[in-house]
Amino acid sequence: MHQLINEPTLNVGKEELNFTFSPAGILSAIRSNKLMVSLFETPMSEMAISNIYLRTIENDQYSATPLLFFNDKIETFQLSNGSLGWKTSTEKFEATVILHTEQNAFFYDISVRNVTEKNLRFELIYGQDLGLADEGAVKTNEAYCSQYLDHRIIQDPTTGYVVCSRQNLSQSCGNPRIQLGALSPVVGFSTDGYQFFGKEFKLTGQPKALEQVSLANENYQFEMGYVALQTEQQVIAPQQCSTITYYGVVQAHCVDSNMQDAIAFEEVKDLYAKKADVSFEQGQLLEVKPQVKGAYIVGEPLTDIELTELFGTERRFVEETEGELLSFFFGDSQYVTLPAKEKRLERSTGHVIASGNNQDYRNPIMSATHYIYGVFNSQLTLGNTSFNKLLGVCRNPLNQFTHGGQRIWVKQGDEYRPLGMPSAYEVGTNYSRWIYKYLNGYIEVRSFASSEEPIIQLDITTRNLDQVLEIAVSHQLVFGNNENDSIVRVLPENEGFTICGSNELIETYAADLSFNLMPSAELCESDLITNPTNGSVEYLVVKGLVHDTARITIGGELSNVNSKGKVLEFDFEVERCNKNLRDLTKGFKLHFSNDEVNSQRLNESVHWFTHNALVHYSTPHGLEQYSGAAWGTRDVSQGPFELFMTMQEFGKARDLLKEIYSHQYQETGTWPQWFMFDQYTTIQQEESHGDIVVWPLKALADYLTMTHDFSVLSEILPYTLAEHGFVKTEHGHSLFEHVERQVQHIIDNLVPGTSLSCYGDGDWDDTLQPANQSLRENMVSGWTIPLTLQSLKGLGGVLNHCADFAHYSEKLFDLAEKMEMDYHHYLIKDNTIAGFIHFARDEQGNVEDVEYLLHPSDSKTGIKHRLLPASRSIISETFTPEMAHQHMASIKQHLVHPDGVRLMDKMAEYKAGQQTYFKRAELAANLGREVGLQYCHAHIRFIEALCKLGDADAVFDNLYKILPVGIQDIVPNAELRQSNAYFSSSDAKFNDRYSAYDNFAQVQAGEVPVKGGWRIYSSGPGIYLNQLISNVFGLRFNNLDLILDPVISSRLGEVKIAYEIGGKPVDVVISPQQGKHTPKTIKLNGEDVPFEIQPNRYRTGGALISSKWLNENLKDTENTLAVSL
């Protein structure tokens, strides 16, 4: 274990450009005014990932030595001008590095002396992580910042490669850019940390690039900005010296795009000439020595016999490559990953656990994030997942910083080494288990959550080891949002430690928050590592000898809930947590007589998507998107709401509606884009997209349609005051009054002269946010309008059934009628719906022209087809039958790909960050998330549209494409990914936007591999579960009457669904005999069931069975509902 030191930091440079170093001379961060130039702020006791490597070449063999850190032969000096220098002496060379800063530039002078009696061949490689954004933005999400960091490679005839990196997202200073190069020829480059370090770094701890002849020499625009530059090889004679200089120049703002010229070489040399001359002779050797990073303890490979002993004989959805077992499922959907798979994955396998009280967002819920490579708990929170952290997040996805979160260190000889990659990693609903084959036995670590209370426990068990295990368990304490935000206090007590602190935000919103960490008796020693400046405790370390077992239990106190001082039992909590999940899903289980594999694929997915949906609902964050803690108004009105509605949890859905409507702005009648729902409720984003106001209306219409619970309209709810700090109003108003204000906002924001809603700040596709004010006010989304029509008609129709509110239906229908007329008049051209229309106006505001964008007639963007307007127009039944079938044929022709349907037939053209029409679509340098066009949320809505049309074969052609379980069986060009986590997008494997734009046709042909995007945190899992149960298998409700409207391909054979209806167990057996939808006969326990066929504009509809009849005829135990199609 590294000595956890905290002494005053060292600074080089001025505010314009400043380098911060640890007391041992290890780079912490590079800043330029408010800008964080580096991507990571190296924790005090860690090694920076930025470095300069000297590689000697002898007999075609490469040997690399780091010249700044990770080097046990290094001496670090503070020089006379306050700068730093590093000196490394080996048997082959003596190398010195001196850092200089001059205005907005920095220089590393590297001098290499050959100390042998023969020629020395060498080269240098400099690697620098880049964030290039305001510090708050970087620390909110490093990967997101990297996605918008455009790297431009320029080849200069004199100096070789120069890399100019521009942050395309606007920062406080504009769009900053950095130019990295050398004053001597650079022959190799790479631009992302995954190129340099490699996926294997998680196992080896060694940068892959240092073992290769050359850097990648490719611009890979991914999620870890890291520019590496390789100099030309040099040969120096014995006792001779050579000097090479790397440089970086930071520009606060690079206008328009990254196509601006590079800074001229002569200009760089002029800056270099101004630097002060300093030498080591004038320097002072630093007293604190950097420690060479010890290797991880990696679990030994397991034999097949050992795997069977650990996990049993059952293995489902086995993944193998080249004869190696990679992963499998077993038991109650437990998922096991082996290192053979992990070394092939870009996205590290991880898991989010939460205490079992997470089915009600109002509870104080304890949550934590795990990673396969020995992160036993990180981002451990009680309540708000951003601000109420006990343990910090893991900022580096390759496990390069080994003190983040909760870690276990095993003493070997005189040093502690961290547990890294296990022999096997297992995840269940509420736990992770790491198994390390070690010293002829096993170390087993389990981290799990209570099924009822906010408690998380770490169990450490040893079996058959050759010796007693001496361990230390470290905890990186945060008590706030980011590291160093708080002054953390640790108070020893009889039952462990109470952890609290001084944090302005917590004191304002959650003043009673505290945590309790209770080690078992085996871990009887402890160390506190504090910040010397303010006394804040940064690490709590507990130590001891483990003969058999040890544990650490973490509880807390918040909102009058106190879970301190309690101990958990693993098997009991796991079984009860699984029961909680089964109860929520109403025992849902599938069997297809002709396709058992795919029915089991869906069963595994239902289990894990329910887990993922609950994370999105009550502990909102993900593996990549660790920041969150809020509900998007659009998202919560879909994912969580649809989850609870399809699971017949109508009370929870009602509570959601009340919470959502209490965040409506009194001043405008609309909503924030997102808002926090706990004690931090005043933290929200006021500006919102044009469709946001519609989603609560749609959710309310769906709730009333399914339940006829009109009493919810009389609920008295507050408003939120946008102009007074987002506090709630003291006096409430009925939910119906909220609806009136909401509809008035829609009316007030119609494009002048029409009944069409203006685009505002965007629609569902976040990448297509408008680039200027004219587009906001005069553009119309072809998707928002049919969504609004569906909501207005749905609410108007159901209100007709309630005398108290029937009068309002007329207003809703009148608005919908006018909007639908303009929909057909303006948005439909040549029988095809436009993605957008733009009303071009003269200086007097008169419409001169209607411009059609994302339409076959669009000559400006080059994009001819957009999915969302067509799919939503089918779902809402706004299209005529002819138009519906025509547009679905067009979607299948132009937008359906092997890995799912895409948002458009062509991506927006990328021009190094230059904006024309849309923000993120033209700013993101990375081909991920919505930018890559296959966003799984939209694919799920496409399935909904197919169900509306009754296209059963197409439903099942597409139903499995976005399931991670055994995905390569369904999508042959899919790359490996974590098999139990929802992925929000499927991203074609192109290095950058340019190659993707030029070769996009290869994606539809299946000629390009596709990768899984960000995981878990999405409304998608909840929506998928709703579509699967309510529309594919057709089990839904209207006025609590049961509707049976399955859309079943005959290739499945007989479909059997175990499910509870109205709290009673039912086996629904569906036989596609005469057709693929619309029941022909229905029998309950052998007796004919009376039913009525429901309307559907595009096909015959489903069958409605009255709730009264069902309640009278369903038995309390076993029931069989046989449906013949």
pLDDT higher than threshold 80 for residue 769: no
Q: Which CATH architecture has domain 10-282?
A: Distorted Sandwich (2.70)
**Whether 150 is catalytic:** no
For residue 293, the model assigns a pLDDT of: 66
For residue 24, the model assigns a pLDDT of: 87
Cβ atoms 713, 808 nearer than 8 A: no
Fold equal for 10-282 and 304-566: yes
How far is residue 1044's CA from residue 625's CA, in Å, rounded to a whole number? 38
Determine which helix (DSSP H) or strand (DSSP E) holds 149, and give its type and residue range: strand 149-156
Query: Which is it for strands 469-480 and 456-463: parallel, antiparallel or unpaired?
Result: unpaired
pLDDT higher than threshold 80 for residue 631: yes
The pair of structure tokens assigned to 730 is 């003291």
Which segments of 661-793 are extended strands (E)? 674-675, 684-685, 716-717, 720-721, 727-728, 733-734, 779-781
How far is residue 442's CA from residue 437's CA, in Å, rounded to a whole number? 5
Cβ atoms 380, 439 nearer than 8 A: no
Extents of the domains making up the chain: 10-282, 304-566, 896-1017, 1033-1124
Using left for φ > 0, alpha for ψ between -120 and 50, and beta otherwise, residue 932 falls in alpha
Categorize the per-residue pLDDT at 766 as very low, low, confident or very high, splitting at 50, 70 and 90.
low
Q: Would you give the distance in Å from CA 224 to the centre of its chain?
A: 14
pLDDT higher than threshold 90 for residue 495: no
Using left for φ > 0, alpha for ψ between -120 and 50, and beta otherwise, residue 584 falls in alpha
pLDDT higher than threshold 70 for residue 130: yes
Q: Which CATH architecture has domain 304-566?
A: Distorted Sandwich (2.70)
Taking the CA atoms of residue 810, residue 813, residue 814 and residue 818 in that order, the dihedral angle to the nearest 10 degrees is 180
pLDDT in tens, 262-290: 999 999 999 999 988 887 776 788 877 76
How far is residue 118's CA from residue 269's CA, in Å, rounded to a whole number? 33
Taking the CA atoms of residue 868, residue 873, residue 874 and residue 878 in that order, the dihedral angle to the nearest 10 degrees is 180
pTM over 0.85: yes
pLDDT in tens, 572-628: 999 999 999 999 999 999 999 999 999 999 999 999 999 999 999 999 999 999 998
pLDDT in tens, 162-179: 999 999 999 999 999 999
Cβ atoms 833, 824 nearer than 8 A: no
The pair of structure tokens assigned to 602 is 């869906």
Which is higher by pLDDT, 106 or 847? 106
Taking alpha carbons only, the member of 495, 478, 485 closest to residue 537 is 478
Taking alpha carbons only, the member of 284, 238, 247, 292 closest to residue 265 is 247
Categorize the per-residue pLDDT at 777 as very low, low, confident or very high, splitting at 50, 70 and 90.
confident
- Looking at 766, 905, 987, 1041, which residue is catalytic? 766
pLDDT in tens, 778-822: 889 999 999 999 999 999 999 999 999 999 999 999 999 999 999
Categorize the per-residue pLDDT at 6 as very low, low, confident or very high, splitting at 50, 70 and 90.
low
Start-to-end CA distance of the chain, whole Å, equals 66
Cβ atoms 978, 905 nearer than 8 A: no
For residue 466, the model assigns a pLDDT of: 85
pLDDT in tens, 51-80: 999 999 999 999 999 999 878 889 999 998
Q: 1019 in helix, strand or coil? A: coil
Cβ atoms 463, 327 nearer than 8 A: no
For residue 767, the model assigns a pLDDT of: 58
Q: Which fold has domain 1033-1124?
A: Maltose phosphorylase, domain 3 (2.60.420)
Q: What is the DSSP letter of 571?
A: H
